[in-house]
Structure 1
Amino acid sequence: MTIACLDLAGTTVADGDIVETAFAEAIAALGIASGTASHERAMSRVRESRGGSKAEIFRSLFEEPRALAANLAFEQSYDQLVDRHGLRPVPGADRAIERIRDAGVRVCLLTGFARSTQARILDTLGWWDRADLTLCPEDVARGRPWPDLVLTAALRLGADDVRHVAVCGDTANDMRTGRRSGASIVAGVLTGAHDRGRLLAAGATHVLPSVAALPDLILAGAPAPLDDAVTADHG
């Protein structure tokens, strides 16, 4: 492996319920009251689409002016929740990133958040020096589940073969992005939005308890893809 593309919230950054709460508050801000059937339908769509561009998720729910308003409300809510509760890495994430980079593998931190929210996360954690590259949906024509983020990382970081790229995330959309890009390791982790079954169904080559297990997988030069029965045993 020469490049590792790691997701933020739910993968390297402990999510808790901050992201879901921000979505719920953003939807309520548009007049869809919490506790109603309409609000629950919208939140079901959000949960299904986790990992994708936040702006695109809102576009799937509302027409453009309301989608823009909802996205702004989401960013404001997320900032306020971070102010109140703070952020912390997933246990072992700092060391995992350090081990990967010490082995000469370049790290790209990917997200479905807007650039301003991504910057807030990196500022809060002091993580600007943890990555060789950071990318968000504003850097590409298409966000997840399309392969553009991973392929852009491969181009900018000088990969000579997409099979030398590893992708790690906590959602089905992370897995689809990795598989569509041609990455040979597409590792799902169980610290975020989606469970083992959904990660495997979306194309995970491995399922890990957390990103802390990723360096051993990368540094072992694991082949991919393995069959579901074998990948399930990794977690």
Structure 2
Amino acid sequence: MNEAEPITVACLDLAGTTVADGDTVESAFAEAIATLGIVSGTAAYDRALTRFRDSRGGSKIAIFRALFDEPRAQAANLAFERSYDQLVDRHGLKPVPGADEALRRIRGAGVRVCLLTGFGRSTQARILDALDWWDRVDLTLCPADVPRGRPWPDLVLTAALRLGVDDVRHIAVCGDTANDMVTGRRSGASIVAGVLTGAHDHDRLLDAGATHILPSVASLPDLILPTTDTPTPHHPG
């Protein structure tokens, strides 16, 4: 339970936080760079994969821009989205256990939910279609909606503006990567919760500024929602 500041908006990440990722994102990345001739077993592949893992949670197009010139970055990003869509078609998508109920509880308590992602808009929409989650959220944002993606605070601050937040301390951010944690801290959110169902481990999330570490997003409602009032025990005298 958050006693310091009432939470009115929860900004939650997608892959690895609310959506079970497995190795789908990394597989799609590997397939995308292979279209540009960077294949497993080469030094270039190892460097690219290290950059990708270190940048998890950030904008996918920004990762490709860090590796390639603009035309090849755009080509790689299109290949990534195509590969990801095919993997989704082949294997399906599932929410992280407890994520669906967490979204229900959070919105049921009057807290607005924004789903953030480093994916492009079409991939984000595909995920929400697959999970039938459009009625679970109040807002969705992707890198195309902001000047800068994660780890900059723009996604969270844009959510604050669009959802009419009175004070950034009334925001909770939840994600599975160091970039998610840095974004949350830079935005001024009072709760920046790291979950252990995705890319980065306990220490990496804590080092990046997590205020709380949770086993999964299923624990988020208990952290950010007020508990039911219970009578205070009376002690005579």
Q: Distance in 2 between matches of 1:140 and 1:161?
A: 20
Letter in 2 for 1:178: G
Give the drift of 1:40.
1.0
Pick the structure with greater CA Rg: 2
Q: Distance in 2 between matches of 1:203 and 1:146?
A: 14
1:137 aligns with 2:146: no
The structure whose RCO (Cα within 8 Å, separation 6+) is larger is 2
Task: Tell me the equivalent position of 1:22.
Answer: 28
Task: Tell me the equivalent position of 1:79.
Answer: 85
Taking every aligned residue pair, what percent have the same amino acid on both sides? 82
- What RMSD over aligned residues (CA atoms) do the two structures have, in Å? 0.8
Task: Tell me the equivalent position of 1:212.
Answer: 218
Q: Distance in 2 between matches of 1:37 and 1:22?
A: 19
Q: Distance in 2 between matches of 1:38 and 1:78?
A: 22
1:167 aligns with 2:173: yes
1:108 aligns with 2:114: yes
Say whether the 8 Å CA contact 2:30–2:39 is kept in structure 1: no
Secondary structure of the structure 1 residue equivalent to 2:198: coil
Secondary structure of the structure 1 residue equivalent to 2:67: coil
1:34 aligns with 2:59: no
How many residues matched?
Answer: 221
Unpaired runs of 5+ residues, structure 2, are 1-6, 228-237
TM-score (norm 2): 0.92
Q: Distance in 2 between matches of 1:125 and 1:103?
A: 22
Q: Distance in 1 between matches of 2:129 and 2:110?
A: 25
Task: Tell me the equivalent position of 1:69.
Answer: 75
Runs of 4+ in 1 over 6 A off after TM superposition: none
Q: Distance in 1 between matches of 2:29 and 2:204?
A: 21
Give the drift of 1:90.
0.2
Q: Distance in 1 between matches of 2:206 and 2:33?
A: 30
Give the drift of 1:220.
4.2
